[in-house]
Chains A and B, each alone.
Chain A
């Protein structure tokens, strides 16, 4: 389990990351969401020890994380990179060795993964000759070499086509199934929604929301859409009901609780001509916009 405790990073007067605390439990996939400049990359760099925190601590299984721990972390930085002029298999073998694998096992595992992701024919191709999508695959493979005990992936899916996203998420799921915690950041909120067990939303360097996507949705304000055959202007008079939007026969309302919602529905039915009364389940991006506003 990875724990972040009050992690902060200051650049001069600018506080890029402000007392960020959250955990990535064993076997769970945590999505790290936030706009550009929210502090995701800075936080991940501090987890990996590439950047020193100004304050706070990163803990692994309850102890402050050490270099020995981090060598076993798989990392995919935001700034992508492999040696452009070195053949892809030789390069992954080298990275696997730096990861503590023997040359033969590093080579074997790299070849196996490259073949699995359709690069079996390109083992000796230089990285610069691969398409961007294939470079990205190689990059993800690099991060999972050597049975990492934690995966920290900065935007692993950007630039991948849907089929590749499925392949890569399957690979990540194999790791969570084996008990490895995975933290990945993404701008693709639907993807995060689909893949992650829980989500951490970062905004302006602070954690503004955290939890499972169900939990986040449940904590979102209670909203209903009411559609009638006639005008819905009457809802303005109902007590305990906030009208968010009103357009002739359609109204978007926010009752203060479930009882108020039931009373509102009873009123509507009494007036006659109810076509629709439905709970609005916010999408993750709506929740995100809400908290990051």
Chain B
């Protein structure tokens, strides 16, 4: 076959134009760089280490600081606490006020004083006070002829993370990933949706639409446009996902990879169908406008719906959230989160996908009808209502 079906030409052009668009390339490049930065850079920097100087007036103070130093180094090799000997309490106060030291620890007869410049000493305060308290407790126990262990027997409370034991994936990770999935879909839906609307209105505004409409059926034009942009959106998603997965192996998160892979396998069809469900509606929004300037107005309802779905989707709880996870398009935002959290039965995502498929068919029929009606209407923008009423010419 020497010539190709028109929609494949349209889709190919759509992709080719985007791939040679500097803004798109730079945008995608920056996203990838940002992602790498978020994933990889912290592992190089490590957590922030701290070096504290504490003014002390005697050996008791120095001993406490020494013990805190040991505690700090246990948590992080780079951290330290150093005792700085000063003559008396006044000297300690001066040193704190002048910023020579971070704090001052002064032992009195029956109480200690922790001198600080301002109310906030950060982690230093609990570390020093706990240490003083532990030392005092040990001394008192010894005086009373018992031990700290005997005194505190039966007072220990252990925290057991039930969720972690059951779901297999740490809840924090599930939450972050679920949010990332939802955000990725949200941004892709808006970005590539606007792209579809834009490329439709570009053809209307430049009037090339008359040449195209005379050459190929408008349905082929719509099909090519929607599929071309779906390929682009999916391609960008795949790139981001690949970079993220590779990036995760850098930061010791790769233990969670098997669980994530399963979630991604569910996420992809949700993403694809959710995107397709909106694509024809975006095209219709583009066709309603006659100039790029009108797009803001004609795409507003769609953008609003997405914003609301996104905000509601990530904030809902309980039964409302479960119900929401079956609503078409919203399911793309919520169901993958629920899958990640491990609280779904197999039938739930399957049913949600089936619902999106039905919804998708509806919007494609409705969207393409609006698109075809509004396409050659070049004077002024149309309202959604008016476009529905247009007789099909």
Q: Is the CB of A221 closer than 8 A to any CB of chain B?
A: no
Q: Is the CB of A292 closer than 8 A to any CB of chain B?
A: no
Q: Is the CB of B208 closer than 8 A to any CB of chain A?
A: yes
Find B210's partner among A52, A77, A86 (CB 8 Å cutoff): A77
B2 touches A80 (CB 8 A): no
Q: Is the CB of A28 closer than 8 A to any CB of chain B?
A: no
A67 to B218, CA, bound (A): 12
A91 to B169, CA, bound (A): 51
Residues of B within 8 Å of A98, CB to CB, are 6, 9, 212, 215-216
A50 touches B213 (CB 8 A): yes
Q: Taking A79-B378, A98-B216 as contacts, is the C-beta distance between A50 and B210 under 8 angstroms?
A: yes
Q: Is the CB of A192 closer than 8 A to any CB of chain B?
A: no
A77 touches B211 (CB 8 A): yes
Residues of A within 8 Å of B209, CB to CB, are 81
A75 touches B3 (CB 8 A): no
Write the chain A residue with the least CB distance to B17: A86
Residues of B within 8 Å of A50, CB to CB, are 210, 213-214, 376
A105 to B9, CA, bound (A): 15
Write the chain A residue with the least CB distance to B208: A81
The B205-244 residues at the A interface (CB cut-off 8 A) are 205-217
User: How many residues on the A side are at the interface (Cβ–Cβ under 8 A)?
Assistant: 31
The B36-70 residues at the A interface (CB cut-off 8 A) are none
B2 touches A102 (CB 8 A): yes
Residues of A within 8 Å of B217, CB to CB, are 67
Residues of A within 8 Å of B393, CB to CB, are 51-52
Residues of B within 8 Å of A75, CB to CB, are 210-211, 214-215
Q: Which of A51, A95, A97, A142 has the most CB of B within 10 A?
A: A97
Q: How far is the CB of A9 from chain B (nearest CB, A)?
A: 10
Q: Is the CB of A217 closer than 8 A to any CB of chain B?
A: no
Contact with B along A54-93 (1 / 0, CB 8 A): 0000000000000100110101110111111110000000
Q: Is the CB of B202 closer than 8 A to any CB of chain A?
A: yes
Write the chain B residue with the least CB distance to A142: B211
Q: Taking A67-B217, A97-B9, A99-B215 as contacts, is the C-beta distance between A81 and B210 under 8 angstroms?
A: yes
A73 to B214, CA, bound (A): 9
Find A94's partner among B3, B9, B202, B206 (CB 8 Å cutoff): B9
Q: Is the CB of B133 closer than 8 A to any CB of chain A?
A: no
Q: Is the CB of A37 closer than 8 A to any CB of chain B?
A: no
A89 to B208, CA, bound (A): 15
A48 touches B214 (CB 8 A): yes
Q: Is the CB of A101 closer than 8 A to any CB of chain B?
A: yes
Q: Is the CB of B4 closer than 8 A to any CB of chain A?
A: yes
Sample of 12 more A-B contacts, CB < 8 Å, known A70-B214, A81-B210 = A48-B210, A71-B216, A75-B215, A79-B378, A81-B203, A81-B205, A81-B211, A84-B206, A98-B212, A98-B215, A101-B3, A143-B211
Can you give 10 A-B contacts (C-beta < 8 A)?
A: A71-B215, A75-B211, A77-B211, A77-B214, A79-B207, A80-B207, A81-B205, A84-B206, A97-B3, A97-B9
Contacts from A to B (Cβ < 8 Å)? 45, 48-52, 67, 70-71, 73, 75-77, 79-86, 94-95, 97-102, 142-143
